[in-house]
């Protein structure tokens, strides 16, 4: 057999293998369709109990997702074994009128995806695990987990060790799957806020607020990690709306949302907003869920701002950078009728920077912060991450504290994406080593050593 004949033989052999693979996938899909028909016939029977019917309805709905999978090796036994246990979450809620009624409340759509299963015994390098396989998120995982978006809709959670800046076996999991119409995340509108709030026993309890789970970003949810469900706490209306590319900050028992972008109805473009929202947080004694009380008297920003950062210095709220030069501040302790706007002498253009504390003097006369972002001047902008030191002094001016800010360049970091989200956990501080583990919007991570002013991957 010469080379040309051998080449033709190998080509025909390859095609036969591909055809056999397509036939096997086609047969498996055909079996799934038969199962769905059986489920439909089962649901027509009035004698079945409500719990079983609710389960079968979810299985039928979510099984359709599997029919769309092409070019994948699907194990039928694994699918049968995990289909109901991994997909179905049915909660029994006692009603005054119908005690035994089975309903599905705020179902978190998590669907079985065979493409994401990695056997830990065969591959320890990068475990991609679905939320259902990992189980409910523990408090330890919530405290030491960081988020990033793999694409515009796929949210990833990585787990860090408690005492050193290192991931746990490179473990990742996909969080808040978009398995049904209930969840339609958008990276620019998504928020996951960890809050420690005092319960009835006088102990701090870790709770979680979530935004941007549904299209339009109109609700604020509480995520119950023990039951793996979400409950609506607040819904936007004509007077109060939620924006994307805003900045969210927690102060004591308050959550403050500043700025953002809203859709302009005239040309359907995004327009920066000066809206601010302040909610007071408490725990309902009867339901043990979070309650949000909106403060209509909280002042708006002086100027519209988006893709910015907010931080606290001695009970003063600072709103800085983004699409606008200058900053605004507000005394949260004393209150006041309006924000105060101050324009920078230099024309800074930090878009979605990360601002973290460097260290603070014992006298608290000045605070040093670190700014992580690209070069702020348009002519010299590059992809290299730049580190700037910002010194903030609050000076007494007739009973009011007025800030004085100086920004100086420190050192240059690696060439990575320089945008960071403030609205979900992207950083963790390790006080023993004085190091930060930081991840940007695209999942690129680095460790910032403040003791030696070093950056390492």
Instruction: Flag the least confident range among 33-42, 104-113, 184-193, 419-428.
Output: 104-113
User: How confident is the model at residue 124, as a pLDDT?
Assistant: 37
Residue 413 contacts by C-beta under 8 Å, 6 or more apart in sequence?
A: 372, 384, 385, 386, 387, 446, 455
Pair (313, 302) in one structural domain: no
Pair (276, 173) in one structural domain: no
Express each pLDDT in 247-264 by its tens digit.
999 999 999 999 999 877
Pair (380, 259) in one structural domain: no
Is there a contact between 196 and 427 (Cβ–Cβ < 8 Å)?
no
Distance in angstroms (rounded) separating the CA atoms of residues 331 and 326: 17
Pair (196, 248) in one structural domain: yes
Express each pLDDT in 173-225 by its tens digit.
788 876 655 677 888 899 999 999 988 888 889 999 999 888 778 899 999 98
Residue 242 pLDDT greater than 50, yes or no: yes
Within a domain: 110: no
Q: What's the domain range around 332?
A: 309-457
Distance in angstroms (rounded) separating the CA atoms of residues 327 and 303: 10
Within a domain: 381: yes
Pair (405, 301) in one structural domain: no
Pair (239, 356) in one structural domain: no
Pair (300, 400) in one structural domain: no
Express each pLDDT in 58-85 by its tens digit.
555 545 444 444 334 343 444 444 444 4
Within a domain: 70: no
Percent of the chain with pLDDT over 90: 33
Is there a contact between 186 and 279 (Cβ–Cβ < 8 Å)?
no
- Compute the average pLDDT of residues 154-182: 79
Within a domain: 80: no
Pair (317, 457) in one structural domain: yes
Residue 290 pLDDT greater than 90, yes or no: yes
Express each pLDDT in 349-361 by its tens digit.
889 999 998 764 4
Residue 322 contacts by C-beta under 8 Å, 6 or more apart in sequence?
A: 259, 305, 306, 307, 308, 309, 350, 351, 352
Residue 78 contacts by C-beta under 8 Å, 6 or more apart in sequence?
A: 114, 117
């Amino acid at each position: 057999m010469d080379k040309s004949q051998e080449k033709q033989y190998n080509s025909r052999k390859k095609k036969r293998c591909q055809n056999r693979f397509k036939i096997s996938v086609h047969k498996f899909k055909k079996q799934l369709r038969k199962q769905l028909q059986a489920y439909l016939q089962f649901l027509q029977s009035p004698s079945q109990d409500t719990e079983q019917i609710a389960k079968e309805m979810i299985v039928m709905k979510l099984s359709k997702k599997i029919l769309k999978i092409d070019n994948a090796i699907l194990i039928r036994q694994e699918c049968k074994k995990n289909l109901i246990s991994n997909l179905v979450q049915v909660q029994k809620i006692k009603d005054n009128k119908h005690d035994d009624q089975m309903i599905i409340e705020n179902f978190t759509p998590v669907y079985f995806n065979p493409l994401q299963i990695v056997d830990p015994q065969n591959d320890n390098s990068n475990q991609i695990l679905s939320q259902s396989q990992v189980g409910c998120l523990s408090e330890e995982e919530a405290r030491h987990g960081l988020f990033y978006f793999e694409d515009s809709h796929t949210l990833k959670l990585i787990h860090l060790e408690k005492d050193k800046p290192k991931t746990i076996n490179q473990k990742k999991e996909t969080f808040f799957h978009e398995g049904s119409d209930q969840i339609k995340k958008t990276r620019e509108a998504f928020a996951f806020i960890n809050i420690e709030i005092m319960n009835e026993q006088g102990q701090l309890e870790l709770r979680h607020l979530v935004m941007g789970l549904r299209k339009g970003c109109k609700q604020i949810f509480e995520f119950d990690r023990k039951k793996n469900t979400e409950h609506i706490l607040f819904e936007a209306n004509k007077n109060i709306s939620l924006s994307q590319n805003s900045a969210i900050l927690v102060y004591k028992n308050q959550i403050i949302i500043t700025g953002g972008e809203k859709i302009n109805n005239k040309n359907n473009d995004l327009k920066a907003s000066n809206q601010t929202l302040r909610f007071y947080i408490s725990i309902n004694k009867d339901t043990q869920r979070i309650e949000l009380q909106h403060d209509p008297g909280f002042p708006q920003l002086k100027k519209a701002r988006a893709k910015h950062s907010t931080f606290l210095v001695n009970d003063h709220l600072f709103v800085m950078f983004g699409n606008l030069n200058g900053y605004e501040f507000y005394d949260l302790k004393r209150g006041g009728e309006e924000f105060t706007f101050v324009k920078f002498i230099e024309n800074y253009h930090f878009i979605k920077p990360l601002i973290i504390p460097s260290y603070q003097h014992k006298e608290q006369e000045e605070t040093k912060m670190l700014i992580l972002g690209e070069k702020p001047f348009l002519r010299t902008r590059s992809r290299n991450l730049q580190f700037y030191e910002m010194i903030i002094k609050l000076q007494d001016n007739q009973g009011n504290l007025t800030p004085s800010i100086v920004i100086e360049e420190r050192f240059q970091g690696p060439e990575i994406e320089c945008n960071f989200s403030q609205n979900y956990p992207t950083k963790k501080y390790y006080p023993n080593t004085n190091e930060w583990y930081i991840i940007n919007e695209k999942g690129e991570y680095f460790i910032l050593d403040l003791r030696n002013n070093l950056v390492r991957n």
